[in-house]
Amino acid sequence: MTTQKKFLVTDTETTGLGSRAIVFDFAYIICTRTKILLERSFVIRDTITNPKVMLYALMNEDWRKFFGGKIFSHYIPALSSGELTLHSWRDVIDTMRDDILTHDVKVFSAYNLPFDMKAIQQTNQMITGGTYKILPRKLALLDLYYFACVTVLNTRLYHDVAHKLGNEHGFITDAGNVRTTAEKTYAFLTGKYDFIEAHTALGDTQIEVEILQRLLAKRKTIPYDILRGAAWRYAQKIQGTLLDRRNSARKGKGNKHGR
């Protein structure tokens, strides 16, 4: 009997972007191509109870609009009810390392993995001085963002659906590109075009596992250890072809030869 490869899919919610990306909500799911084996979610005590870190985040207008209200409407009530619990960063990393070994995980994955990896490293640096080892051993890396962009989001079908749904469903950006977020990837793969992402670590990890399993089911080449910036660009390639065809059709309407 062949043992299925084990994947760890993670998501982080952070106090900002770039150098401000410090993790306050962390989750991961261990799964195979077809099954979910383990699901964990943590609110990071070292971050969310650190007034300097959280107030610095709230001073950022973009972050405040996106997450400021959610701290009070979601996280505080969930912590109060026991739905979520506070954990130290060291305990979280120790638990993850143990889970990786227990389940013999081979692949570390996320949607936009470079962002999550950097956020995890920055958080580890802030809390432990970078002395704590995050993974127990070397794992293959899989960026679901890039995987989706070169497998599904660059197809004629996705572009046709995205343009048909258009701005009303948020599938097209102001610049005219197809959206490549996890939210829209999941919406397309499941046919739930009005789906709205939870933007909590566990909620987002759950849809990313669905994305992973559906991408794996396509039996395409899996792009292990390919971490590239601006993955969204790879999904726009077929759009140029479609736009050229549409523009040619428009030009040809007044001329039977299409010239």
DSSP state letters, the chain: -PPPPPEEEEEEEESSSGGG--EEEEEEEEE-SS-EEEEEEEEEHHHHT-HHHHHHHHTSHHHIIIIIHHIIIIIHHHHHHTSS-EE-HHHHHHHHHHHHHHTT--EEEETTHHHHHHHHHHHHHHHHTT-S-SSSS--EEEEHHHHHHHHTTTSHHHHHHHHHHGGGGT-B-TTSPBP--HHHHHHHHHT-TT-----SHHHHHHHHHHHHHHHHHTTPPP-TT---S-GGGGGSHHHHHHHHHHHHHHHHTT-TT--
Domains recognised in the chain with CATH numbers = 7-251 (3.30.420.10)
- State residue 241's pLDDT score: 52
pLDDT band at residue 2 under the 50/70/90 scheme:
low
| 33-64 per-position pLDDT tens digit | 999 999 999 999 999 999 999 999 989 888 88
- In one-letter notation, the amino acid at residue 113 is L
The structure's pTM equals 0.88
**Rounded Cα distance, 250 and 244, in Å:** 10
pLDDT band at residue 89 under the 50/70/90 scheme:
very high
| 137-181 per-position pLDDT tens digit | 999 999 999 999 999 999 999 999 999 997 788 999 999 999 999
| 58-72 per-position pLDDT tens digit | 898 888 888 888 888
pLDDT at 258 over 80: no
| 190-206 per-position pLDDT tens digit | 999 999 999 999 999 99
- State residue 207's pLDDT score: 98
pLDDT band at residue 256 under the 50/70/90 scheme:
very low
